[in-house]
Chain A
């Protein structure tokens, strides 16, 4: 699905040039669940932006579904972002003035889907992340975890084959993080390819493969033998939480 060869990314020019990615080659097959780790400034976000067609590589080749992305123009890239890729951001990036439902409808507006169908699919997506009863709420009326679930609903609503999430649990507590990972695992079980950037090994251990970056270089690429299963952990955590409440009585 993703085929990256000898990719370089340099920000700026001359003396202030920063090499964010150096000779990176990765392949990701359809249906994989990959986490990208590494210290701050190692180039993780840079890579995600290039994979997400938000940015272009300085050098090297990137093929998405056998399409050479580096040859496409801005409009084609917008189309790819719209239909093939779902984004989830650390800071949610929901539009504050409109309801959860309208937020989820946004990608479909740009896909030219008409009003009725859009609403139906947005409700379906929100139900999937367990927020059907909150669909008319505005983002500032929701918790961080709920916001991120709205963002996931938005990312999956155009049924893209690839979901990219840059530190999706970065702003969330462990319970909400578990919940979000649960959502990603469910999506991945349905065949969606998921790439996440994370700083937490705990989170990365939910995925099937961990790629590590340091200073712009890809330093390791390991398969996770037995990924953690979020739905189980979530269950356990919820029970533990209930017990702690009862114990406190």
Chain B
């Protein structure tokens, strides 16, 4: 029997029970939809992550403390930076930073502040778009100037404008001392997902200042992170180990410092994302299988309803394979259509969610193709049993069936 004929007959029989067919298809639609949407979102998240990491530069090594119990001699200092630069040819660029949580005094209240002390090289590692003014300069660091860079959303919230160069902010340290800082730059947060999420009274205010100024005002832990960019990307691991050795030599200790390359972080974040999306996909596949059971069920009902028809078709010359194809086609049409609908809704949902959380949607052609092909394959799998059952019916008994 010809393929087109099969299709026509399947359409006729499915449209005879429209509601039933649609309800049955819904399960598959849900399953395919979830898979496609999950894949779209997780791909978007992955590409967002790798974008963020690429900004940092893939050949970057971050040096931090391995533990919290540190002796004075273990603490990293700005001097270490000089030694590293002098001792290691592989180092291209280096910066240090320290992050302190303290308080900022505002006209009407006080808020928590996340104060990052940096060296002027900080901008070569982190893309910083300035809306107004400039970033912390080398001479700011050298002369421990009391200057700061704030975010544009902070400026708008408390000054009503981003044009606030020369204005002052007041920070408070643990001893209750107050330091006035002159604003020299306003950082743009446009298109920055996290910054816009944290533009909220509950999150600390972001302040960047010269690391030297921060050391004077807040004392202790002079440096908590040293970020190094390496000339040759190939020996990232070796350079990391060498850096740690060097620091251990300077500070006469062991097991205090830890070198992580951006690549490592990217990998581990990526694998966490993978695990999450795999778990979700497994759930989606279970949905799909439940939908498939629905299809088997409805096809079995359909076989029972059409026993006489099957008997008649056999009497008129239908072979077993014609009957099998007839029911398989119905099953495949149901799952194939559901697959298409699921893919479309999934892609739309993925796009909507991506635009809501500000990540560009990533349409993975292969996921889409695989989702469609597997829904067709599922159609075959779910259809086989009912189709076989129909094909094995005895023609006379079927014709007699009331």
Using a CB–CB cutoff of 8 Å, the interface residues on chain A facing chain B are: 49, 52, 54-55, 74-75, 78-79, 81-83, 87, 89, 93, 95, 97-98, 106-107, 109-112, 114-115, 154, 158
Q: Contacts A55-B396, A98-B12: A109 and B314 contacting too (C-beta < 8 A)?
A: no
Across the interface, which residues of A come within 8 angstroms of B312, CB to CB?
A: 93, 95
A78 touches B309 (CB 8 A): no
B316 touches A95 (CB 8 A): no
Task: Find residues 228-251 in chain B having any chain A CB closer than 8 Å to their own CB.
Answer: none
CB-based nearest B residue for A96? B309
Q: Contacts A87-B315, A97-B16: A74 and B308 contacting too (C-beta < 8 A)?
A: no
**How many residues of chain B are within 8 Å of chain A by beta carbon?**
22
Answer yes or no: B313 CB below 8 A from chain A CBs: yes
Using a CB–CB cutoff of 8 Å, the interface residues on chain B facing chain A are: 1-2, 4-5, 12-13, 16, 308-309, 312-320, 322, 395-396, 399
A89 touches B317 (CB 8 A): no
- The CA of A99 and the CA of B277, in the complex, are separated in Å by 51
Q: Contacts A97-B12, A97-B16: A110 and B316 contacting too (C-beta < 8 A)?
A: yes
B317 touches A78 (CB 8 A): yes
The 4 closest A-B pairs by CB, nearest first: A82-B317, A110-B317, A78-B319, A107-B316
A81 touches B320 (CB 8 A): no
A112 touches B313 (CB 8 A): no
Across the interface, which residues of B come within 8 angstroms of A93, CB to CB?
A: 308, 312, 315, 399
A78 touches B318 (CB 8 A): yes
Q: Contacts A93-B312, A97-B16: A111 and B2 contacting too (C-beta < 8 A)?
A: no
Our pick among A55, A81, A97, A109 for the contact of B5 (Cβ within 8 Å) is A109
Across the interface, which residues of B come within 8 angstroms of A74, CB to CB?
A: 319-320
A81 touches B2 (CB 8 A): no
A89 touches B399 (CB 8 A): yes
- The CA of A158 and the CA of B319, in the complex, are separated in Å by 16
A110 touches B1 (CB 8 A): yes
Across the interface, which residues of B come within 8 angstroms of A49, CB to CB?
A: 396
Q: Give the Cβ gap from B392 to chain A, nearest Cβ, in Å.
A: 10
Across the interface, which residues of A come within 8 angstroms of B1, CB to CB?
A: 109-110, 112
Knowing that A106-B316, A107-B316 touch, tell me 16 more A-B residue pairs with CB under 8 angstroms: A49-B396, A54-B314, A54-B396, A78-B317, A79-B319, A81-B317, A82-B318, A93-B312, A93-B399, A98-B12, A109-B2, A109-B5, A110-B1, A110-B313, A112-B2, A115-B5
A97 touches B319 (CB 8 A): no
CB-based nearest B residue for A75? B319
Q: Give the Cβ gap from A106 to chain B, nearest Cβ, in Å.
A: 5
A75 touches B320 (CB 8 A): yes
A83 touches B309 (CB 8 A): no
Q: Give the Cβ gap from B320 to chain A, nearest Cβ, in Å.
A: 6
B395 touches A110 (CB 8 A): no
B317 touches A107 (CB 8 A): yes
Q: Give the Cβ gap from A103 to chain B, nearest Cβ, in Å.
A: 10
CB-based nearest A residue for B309? A95
- The CA of A109 and the CA of B395, in the complex, are separated in Å by 18
